[in-house]
Amino acid sequence: MSNFKITDIVGVIPALITPFDENENFDEGRMRNVVDFLIEEGVHGFYLTGSTGEGFLMTPDERKKVVKVVVDQVNGRVPVIAHIGAISTKISIDLAKDAYETGVDAISSVPPFYWKFKDNNIFKYYEDLSGSTPLPMIVYNVPLAGLFGFDFIKRLSTIENVKGIKYTAYTHQDIHKAKAQIGKDFMVYSGADEMAVSGLFNEADGIIGSFYSMLADVYVDIYNNIKAGEFSKAQIKQKIAVDIIEASLKYDYYAVIKAAMKWMGFDGGYVRRPFNNLSSCEEEKVKDEFRKIRDRYGVEDIRVLKSI
């Protein structure tokens, strides 16, 4: 069963990639290596099988397998949040129950999407999921699935077991408002990688993001800098991260993250179609852009920039 309370889940939490092999099969060995690498880099937890983990490109059984492998490899060292979202409430409940039995510390879900569901449909979806296990539920406010207004976030917070939100929106005043109006123990995780500093300034308990698998050292430094009151240091690291992210977004950025992990010696494997892996030519172009960023800032202490 779970090892951590929801209030223990703080800090830098990578939205974990899922390594696939050349034939698009889940690669357990690579997954275990990635987990150990990121824990050694100082991350404070993991968020599994979400968008970054290509969860919607996997079958439910594949998603369950990923959760089992990661929980086993983590072995209680850091908290694990399993994303169990699907359009179907029935599928999500099945994933939630399996994640609970596997031993995750919390579950999370995007709202049901594709059809334009009414607020009452979405509320009932979270109510059903939250009642399916004793685990805390972290709702997910993300543009891809449709953003919630603050009043609806407050309404969702009234559901038993809804204990927090992954807030991937840019209205960061709502992070502060959630802590002030819902309660200090309602956990808020800033989900915009480019705005980690802003999220933490606005009282986010932690940051969850795609690029933390590739830039774990940068974001751990940002988190520690903010906690130590070293705001100018955090701001510089954030600027470097933004430049790296913008260079990566010219391609299928999950492929860039996985390629960059390979350069660092911790192979992230391949993406699953319809995403495209980087060609050798594209890899060299990305490296060239990263070198320009390294030279522009004169940095020598960021792992991915040292690896090229």
Residue 55: CATH number of its domain: 3.20.20.70
Cα angle, residue 188 at apex, residues 182 and 194 outer, rounded to 5°: 140
Q: Is residue 280 in a domain?
A: no
What span, in angstroms and rounded, lies between the C-alpha atoms of 139 and 132? 15
- Residue 113, judged by CB atoms within 10 A of its CB (0-12, 13-18, 19+), counts as middle
Q: Specify the residue for token string 């890899």.
A: 283
Name residue 174's amino acid. Answer: D
The answer as to whether 288 is a domain residue is no
Q: Is residue 290 part of a domain?
A: no
Among residues 55, 51, 103, which one has the least CA distance to residue 77? Answer: 103
What angle is formed at CA 26 by the lines to CA 63 and CA 58, rounded to 5 degrees? Answer: 40
- DSSP-derived 3-state class of residue 285: helix
Assess whether 166 carries a catalytic annotation: yes
227 has catalytic annotation? no
Q: Per-residue confidence of the chain (308 residues) as pLDDT tens digits?
A: 678 999 999 999 999 999 999 999 999 999 999 999 999 999 999 999 999 999 999 999 999 999 999 999 999 999 999 999 999 999 999 999 999 999 999 999 999 988 788 899 999 999 999 999 999 999 998 766 566 889 999 999 999 999 999 998 888 999 999 999 999 999 999 999 999 999 999 999 999 999 999 999 999 999 999 999 999 999 999 999 999 999 999 999 999 999 999 999 999 999 999 999 999 999 999 999 999 999 999 998 999 999 99
Q: Is residue 301 part of a domain?
A: no
CA 89 to centroid of chain Cα atoms: 22
Q: How many separate domains does the chain show?
A: 1
Q: Which of 64, 65, 163, 166 is catalytic?
A: 166
In a domain, 150, yes or no: yes
| 271 inside domain | no
Domain hosting 55: range is 6-230
Domain membership of residue 105 (yes or no) is yes
Which residues make Cβ contacts (< 8 Å) with residue 5, sequence separation at least 6?
A: none
| 261 in any annotated domain | no
Catalytic residue among 47, 125, 126, 140: 140
